[in-house]
Structure 1
Amino acid sequence: MGIIPEKIPGAEVVLGLILGTGVGGGIVVNGKVLYGRQGIAGEWGHNILDEAGEKCYCGKTGCVETVLSGPALQRFYASLSGEEIKLPVIMERYRAGNDAHATKTVERMVQYFGKGLSVLVNILDPDAIVIGGGVGNIAELYQEGAEAVKKYVFNTRPDILLLKPKLGDSAGVFGAAMLTA
């Protein structure tokens, strides 16, 4: 989480999220990764976000991953439009303002992002949240998504800092390499 000391000196709690093909996360407290007793601390992707949602490969229904991963967003768009297209094309259409299905897909993503992330913010009260992965490249998460989080957070004056990883999409590769060193 190399960007944190530059952005927030003295950051104590940092939440790292991956929103891509899958959804996951990690927690860093005082510079140390928090694993938890069962090694699942930060496993955000398999918390229930939509009880009426899709069945997840983990056996649960409506996990964050079945709502906010790139493939989930593409499936939702296809369920509305009948057209299977990649997420960057959905985003282009949304930004062009000429595709109601793209608009509904992005608005749903933003609202579920706000609901899902607000739970983590309420529990951890992080100094910063770093969002990686392909979905993490969507600019709307850092604007509309941040506003949606604020709507669901307990605090009446939430100060939520959402950051892109300094190493971009390669951050996970560097992190994995560090674990083997």
Structure 2
Amino acid sequence: MDVISKAELFRRIGFGGDPAAAEGVLEVAGLSRPAKQSIHPDKLDAAATALASAFCWVCNRGDCHEEAVRIAAGRTVVPAADPSQCQVCGGSVNQRSIDEMVAACAARGWHRLLVVGGSPNARDEISRILHGRLELRALDGTIARTLKQARADLGWGDVVVVWGSSQLDHKVSNLYTGPKVVTLHRRSIQELATEVVRAARRG
């Protein structure tokens, strides 16, 4: 099997920091010497593990850098080779926001999220990022609901987001009221997640 360059190794795993620092880690781990420009494929997994244990690579967003410092646990924070490889947000503000929402809901003991309204694409994106970490019901806000259905929905959800400023009929939104309800006046997924986090932390 052909060897690969160390520069390619660093790029693949997401390390965008000083190559000399990475070389030092590989040398201490007994995986390579700085004089070598390439590495054997059999050592790739061990090399990736060694580097991930020593470094936390993040994109250039200030909030990601702050979070990286908080979670680094002794690792050195370095730039990611590409924003998509950021160990905090994975290149997606929505991903990070939803992750924070999931953590806040778990801390509160919430397991079921009901979203009323929003575009089909936005609802699909929330479902994709959640990936089953919360039970989700995402309702089309343009389709009529009965009072009985709405009451059942409210009984099911631990937290209910009424997504205003989106595809939402007032005849539908007016059915969803009460202490579980969070009313959102902005369209973004990030704002939705932020409001749920606030609700969870209010107690």
TM-score when scaled to structure 1? 0.30
In our comparison, the structure showing a higher alpha carbon Rg is: 2
TM-score when scaled to structure 2? 0.28
Relative contact order (C-alpha < 8 Å, sep 6+): which is higher? Answer: 1
